[in-house]
Amino acid sequence: MVAQRICDAMLPELSRVFAVSLVQAAQVVSVFAVAYGVAQLFYGPLGDRLGKFRIVTFATLGCCVGTTLATLATSIDVLVFARLLTALGAAALIPLAMAWVGDAVPPEELQEMLTRTGLGSTLGMVGGQLAGGLLTDTLGWRWAFAFLTLLFAVVGLLLLMDWRRQQAARVNLPAMAVPNAQATRPGFVRQALLIITGPWSRVVLLMALVEGAAGFGVLAMWASHLHRSQGLSLSVAGAIVALFGMGGVLYMVVGRHMIRRFGQQKLVLLGGALVGVCALVLAYAPHWLPAMLATLLAGFGFAMFHNTMQANATQMAPGARGTAVTLFASFLFLGQSVGVVVAASLIGWLGTGAVVALGGLVMALEGVFFAWVLGRRAAQLAGPVEPPERVEPHGD
């Protein structure tokens, strides 16, 4: 997530340095998302066959190649290519981690566990946006990618040390994961067809596509909106947008209680509505102070929605969990790539405020729709309710 979001606040600076339009500069976000989404299609089956922890370890180390090239880039084309290379490695990290958790954790505890493991990705979102704006404003945009190189190298080496310890001790996948990994060996195409042809899987994947476009995609424009409309520096704008991630962290802290209190339907309904209202405030507030609270609450609402989506994604196809989760992630980030391009294109026509508000509106409508389909699914799984047996009155 650090790699995903680090370019958000630096888009205006990249546009200035390389003398390109904002749409062209936004390719460092959209190309990353496209490559990220496509590459995940291959990581699911690969992780099931070779081990999810192992793939994550070497993919993390591989990200250093792309971030090093980005640090040394001399043109926007080279930078976009470097982002593509980084995305090819980063694509393995979150979906294979989610799939591993899905293998290791009982279904009734899964959503709560995902709130805890999701803390890492939300902190990465905060760190990426904050570091991108701060380093761009102070030391220059190249230092943001140098920071990424160091981060991937340190974490990759820590993972490698742990993986070698596992190999030495012959520690395999969790016991719950071993039977599934061994019993399910169909090819990717067959697994993907089984998932995509399922009616519920199609709904979850469609929701992921819309969420990626309206949520993650439009979010890339929030810092640019604050920079343009409020005259804030890139570091301050990036710091405010980083509160979106802090809202997600806040949800991770209280998520266990909210899941038990509200259930999935109310979580997606309230989460989508909260994002919609807060996006409207951020888009049209006359001062930047309300934007701080709105961004924090929007992140909280988005985490409510996204965590429920993750839980449903891991249960789409338990027999092909790796492929199912990577398909979900692919649709999510392909949606983001579409959202970034569309949002950047609409800015010249509608303005940044209207684009931010439109993204929030779509998220709110998606929350209403997904809550409705979750209710229908729950009713279908429960089955028809048998009417109480009628007792005929009788005499003595």
12, pLDDT greater than 60: yes
Q: pLDDT at position 192, please?
A: 67
Other CB atoms within 10 Å distance of the CB of residue 216: 24
DSSP sequence for 290-346: HHHHHHHHHHHHHHHHHHHHHHHHHTS-GGGHHHHHHHHHHHHHHHHHHHHHHHHHH
Question: 351: alpha, beta or left, given left = phi > 0 and alpha = psi -120 to 50?
Answer: left
Decide if 253 is inside a domain.
Answer: yes
Instruction: Enter the DSSP assignment of 213.
Output: I
Domain with residue 245: its CATH number is 1.20.1250.20
Decide if 392 is inside a domain.
Answer: no
Q: pLDDT at position 311, please?
A: 83
In angstroms, the CA 94 to CA 4 distance is 12
Residue 240 has which token pair?
């405010």
* Rg, the chain, Cα only: 22
pLDDT digits (tens, 9 = 90+) for 187-228: 666 666 667 767 788 888 899 999 988 887 778 777 778 878
CB-based contact 264:313 (threshold 8 Å): no
Higher confidence at residue 164 or residue 50? 164
Decide if 337 is inside a domain.
Answer: yes
Q: pLDDT at position 181, please?
A: 43
Q: pLDDT at position 163, please?
A: 86
Is the whole model's pTM more than 0.85, yes or no?
A: no
Torsion of CA 103, 95, 54, 176, to 10 degrees: 0
Structural domain range at position 14? 2-169+187-379
Phi and psi at residue 180, to the nearest 5°: -65, -40
Residue 177 has which token pair?
């994961």
Q: pLDDT at position 269, please?
A: 92
Lowest pLDDT segment from 24-33, 100-109, 185-194 = 185-194
Mean pLDDT of the region 233-251:
81
Decide if 13 is inside a domain.
Answer: yes
Mean pLDDT of the region 162-183:
61
pLDDT band with cut points at 50, 70 and 90 for residue 186? low
Could you tell me which of 55, 305, 302, 289 has the C-alpha nearest to residue 181?
55
pLDDT band with cut points at 50, 70 and 90 for residue 182? very low
In angstroms, the CA 71 to CA 356 distance is 30
Decide if 125 is inside a domain.
Answer: yes
Decide if 227 is inside a domain.
Answer: yes
Q: Over the chain, what is the mean pLDDT?
A: 81
In angstroms, the CA 144 to CA 137 distance is 10
Q: pLDDT at position 106, please?
A: 80
Q: pLDDT at position 319, please?
A: 67
pLDDT band with cut points at 50, 70 and 90 for residue 90? very high
In angstroms, the CA 328 to CA 204 distance is 8
Mean pLDDT of the region 378-396:
57
315, pLDDT greater than 90: no
Decide if 198 is inside a domain.
Answer: yes
Length of the chain: 396
Q: pLDDT at position 180, please?
A: 46
In angstroms, the CA 330 to CA 95 distance is 9
How many structural domains compose the chain?
1
Question: 380: alpha, beta or left, given left = phi > 0 and alpha = psi -120 to 50?
Answer: alpha
Q: pLDDT at position 394, please?
A: 52
Decide if 156 is inside a domain.
Answer: yes
Lowest pLDDT segment from 45-59, 235-249, 272-286, 316-330 = 316-330
Distances (CA, A) of 142 to 17, 158, 223, 242, 254: 11, 25, 19, 20, 37
Mean pLDDT of the region 8-25:
82
Residue 288 has which token pair?
């930047």
388, pLDDT greater than 70: no
Could you tell me which of 360, 110, 331 has the C-alpha nearest to residue 221?
360
In angstroms, the CA 83 to CA 310 distance is 25
pLDDT band with cut points at 50, 70 and 90 for residue 396? very low
